[in-house]
Amino acid sequence: MEQIFYTTEFTVSHLIDKIDTGELGLPELQRPFVWKNTKVRDLFDSMMSGYPTGYIMLWECPETDKKKSIGTDGKSYTEPKEVIIDGQQRLTSLYAVMKGKTVIDSGFSEKNIIISFCPLTGKFEVGATSTKNNPEWIYNLSDLFTSPTSSRFINKFMKTLEDYRIAGGSELSEDERGKIELAIEAVYGLKNYKFSVFMIKSNADEEAVSQVFVRINSAGMQLKQNDFILTLLSVHWEEGRREVERFCGESSKHTPGKVTSYNSIGLLISPENIMRAVIAYAFNRARLLYAYKLLRGADMENRGAVNSELREKNFATLKEKLPDVINPGNWHEFLKAIMDAGYLADNMMLSKNAVYYTYAMYLIAKYRLNAPHHMNKNLASLWFFYASLTSLYSNSPETAAESHLNAIARINSPNEYRQFIISRVSETLTDDYFRITLPGSDGLAKSGSGNNAWYAYVAALNILGTKILFSQSSLPTSSLFMPGADGTRKSLEKHHLFPKAYLKSLGYADTQINQMANYAYIDWSDNAKITDDSPSSYYPAICEGMTPEAISCMEDENALPHGWQDMSYDDFLLERRKLMAGIIKRAFVVLKGKAES
């Protein structure tokens, strides 16, 4: 079997020259883009001490029919001959320090990496006021590496230090002069430091590259198709990669007390999420493997041979479609559709694939089919509710999504699209589904902190405007998911209707106690009033002051069997699952009705 890689050595200077000429592409494949300055300091210290600093892994790019052109954007290569798969942070840091270049930090701001060095002690430090104001230190090593010659820098440094010593009443000794000169020359000589390089041949596919990466990477990290796509973006359309990262950063800033104007549910967005959406929207592809091949310029009809014209065509499509995906207005309106489906918090959405594949469908309907806004939003709400309830994109998500995208590609009008959505949803969410499947072991008859069926039930309560259980206020359950006056979400607690301690006293195991049907969301203040006694003991006290009609209405709205407090626990679970399924069905009917109108 042919070996897919070979090993070699490159000096730092040679690697930097390759980056300068464009022969070596320097993508931002790993996050954060640049190490903290302390890690850069440690890298220089390790190199100076002769310690190992790890392999650099490069991947040769396939030869194309594109000719080299001299002087394009100051580079000798219009396309890189190699891309970095591992070692990006090290090379970015070395390049920035040795060339005196700024880097982009995780906040998308330019900054300099300032590393200081004391020639007499041989110590490296992150640049600070103490090293800047102390002539015993070289404050910024970039000044040394960008100096025309090391001797010119040494003479200038020595003169400044000598004047400083004389002003303080002392002088530089000959030994100190010799030590300083040797130390500075040694640091300047780090340009000749040799890195061991794994060079992966161009005929290796991305799966093989991933395997090599995993086997030699001490952290055990794994590369995914998304990593390769982002690498291609960095090499062939760097600004596009930055736009994706910028959108994720701005849209995902959700910390306690802070939500963005277009991400009030706290949904965290990653570049992988965005790439899934844009690839589905732009190419009707859900499999990132195929997307990678498309952007690499692989000609599927010619055994995957790389064609630069095909790559340019596909990148042109990507450049046209990406702005729609990362448009805050589109994202904001789509999130409204998610919220209309009752999903008001990030932790309710167990499958993020459902979010981004539905988003892609929303964009296809908007831009290709010209679907009216309200129709499109209502259809997105229905589809997301259906996809989340049935775990549509949890098992083999790419296969399922690509099937839907292929079907939608054959649709030519908004009404056809509406019929597709409603018919697909109705095929699964039948009366038998709500009567038999959903209350059973594939739905609500499960134990744990939550599954898709449980969160669909909670979403249904939000859709139907159900009041908070046990509360005599008029506030709906949905209010428990909204940020309060202090900016944080209101206290929402999951309550055991049959208290845990009570069931344990009867001999029930945790898996039985923590059944979905034994849970209800209530306000924390009400939960504090509930004791560990049986429902027949605490329920009357909770309902004190409520009319029989109000109690009956509350039970109907929250899937509680009438007289539930006096039922056996096992009978209660069976009956409540049926009623919960009925609540979910009622919400589904509401969403379907809006989609049909």
Q: What is the pLDDT of residue 185?
A: 96
Q: What is the pLDDT of residue 566?
A: 96
* Mean pLDDT of the 436-442 span: 93
**Short-list 211, 16, 224, 186, CA closest to 101:** 16
| Angle at alpha carbon of residue 343, lines to 337 and 347, rounded to 5° | 135
pLDDT band, very low/low/confident/very high, at 71 (cuts 50, 70, 90)? very low
pLDDT band, very low/low/confident/very high, at 478 (cuts 50, 70, 90)? confident
Q: What is the pLDDT of residue 223?
A: 57
Q: Indicate the length of the chain as a whole number.
A: 597
* Mean pLDDT of the 380-388 span: 98
Q: Which amino acid is at 361?
A: M
**Short-list 499, 506, 496, 570, CA closest to 537:** 499
Q: How large is the angle between the packed helices 414-428 and 569-596, nearest 10 degrees?
A: 170
* Residue 506 reports pLDDT greater than 70: yes
pLDDT band, very low/low/confident/very high, at 239 (cuts 50, 70, 90)? confident
Q: What is the pLDDT of residue 70?
A: 33
Q: What is the dihedral of CA 478, 479, 482, 487, to 10 degrees?
A: -170
How many Å apart are CA 422 and CA 596, to the nearest integer? 8
Q: What is the pLDDT of residue 66?
A: 45
Compute and round to an integer the Cα radius of gyration of the chain.
Answer: 31
Residue 240 DSSP label: H
Q: What is the pLDDT of residue 194?
A: 93
The DSSP bridge pattern shows strands 123-126 and 115-118 to be antiparallel
Which carries the bigger pLDDT value, residue 369 or residue 249? 369
Structure tokens at 555: 């039970």
How many Å apart are CA 443 and CA 366, to the nearest integer? 33
Do residues 540 and 532 make contact, with C-beta atoms less than 8 angstroms apart?
A: no
Q: Which amino acid is at 518?
A: N
**Short-list 522, 523, 514, CA closest to 573:** 514
Q: Where is average pLDDT lowest: 177-186, 379-388, 419-428, 524-533?
A: 524-533
Cβ neighbours of residue 206 closer than 8 Å, sequence gap 6 or more: 223, 225, 228, 289, 292
The DSSP bridge pattern shows strands 24-25 and 56-60 to be unpaired
Q: What is the pLDDT of residue 266?
A: 74
The DSSP bridge pattern shows strands 82-86 and 24-25 to be parallel
How many Å apart are CA 541 and CA 529, to the nearest integer? 9
The HSE-up count of residue 183 (CA atoms within 13 Å, CB side) is 21
Q: What is the pLDDT of residue 25?
A: 77
Which carries the bigger pLDDT value, residue 289 or residue 49? 49
* Mean pLDDT of the 291-301 span: 75
What is the distance of C-alpha 335 from the center of its chain?
17
Q: What is the pLDDT of residue 216?
A: 63
How many Å apart are CA 577 and CA 571, to the nearest integer? 10
Looking at the DSSP assignment, which residues form a beta bridge with residue 522? 493
**Short-list 320, 420, 418, 322, CA closest to 372:** 418
Residue 297: CB atoms within 10 A of its CB come to: 22
How many Å apart are CA 510 and CA 520, to the nearest integer? 17
* Residue 303 reports pLDDT greater than 80: no
Place of tokens 């010659």: 149
Question: The pTM is what?
Answer: 0.72
pLDDT band, very low/low/confident/very high, at 272 (cuts 50, 70, 90)? confident
Q: What is the pLDDT of residue 554?
A: 93
Do residues 252 and 263 make contact, with C-beta atoms less than 8 angstroms apart?
A: yes
How many Å apart are CA 502 and CA 231, to the nearest integer? 56
* Residue 86 reports pLDDT greater than 90: no
How many Å apart are CA 487 and CA 496, to the nearest integer? 28
DSSP 540-567: HHHTTT--HHHHHHHHHHTT--TTGGGS
How many Å apart are CA 285 and CA 281, to the nearest integer? 8
493 phi, psi to nearest 5 deg: -125, 145
Q: Where is average pLDDT lowest: 195-204, 374-383, 480-489?
A: 480-489
Structure tokens at 198: 């794994």
Q: What is the pLDDT of residue 206?
A: 62
Place of tokens 């959505």: 421
Do residues 562 and 548 make contact, with C-beta atoms less than 8 angstroms apart?
A: no
Sign for the CA dihedral angle at 107, 112, 115, 116 comes to: negative
* Mean pLDDT of the 533-545 span: 89
Structure tokens at 73: 């954007």
Angstrom CA distances, 399 to 194, 285, 287, 353, 394, stand at 45, 10, 7, 12, 11
Q: Which stretches within 23-113 are classed as H helix?
A: 37-49, 88-99
**Short-list 296, 237, 235, 193, CA closest to 85:** 235
Mean pLDDT of the chain: 85
Residue 479: CB atoms within 10 A of its CB come to: 18
Q: What is the pLDDT of residue 482?
A: 63
How many Å apart are CA 591 and CA 567, to the nearest integer? 33
Q: Where is average pLDDT lowest: 110-124, 207-221, 474-488, 548-562?
A: 207-221
pLDDT digit string, tens, across residues 11-68: 999 999 998 888 887 654 334 455 789 999 999 999 999 888 888 888 887 665 443 3
**Short-list 164, 157, 211, CA closest to 185:** 157
32 phi, psi to nearest 5 deg: -70, 165
* Mean pLDDT of the 227-239 span: 73
101 phi, psi to nearest 5 deg: -100, 150
Residue 101: CB atoms within 10 A of its CB come to: 14
Residue ranges with strand state E in 444-544: 492-496, 519-523
**Short-list 437, 150, 435, 393, CA closest to 277:** 393
* Mean pLDDT of the 186-202 span: 92
* Residue 260 reports pLDDT greater than 50: no
Cβ neighbours of residue 342 closer than 8 Å, sequence gap 6 or more: 385, 456, 458, 459, 460, 461, 462, 463, 478, 587
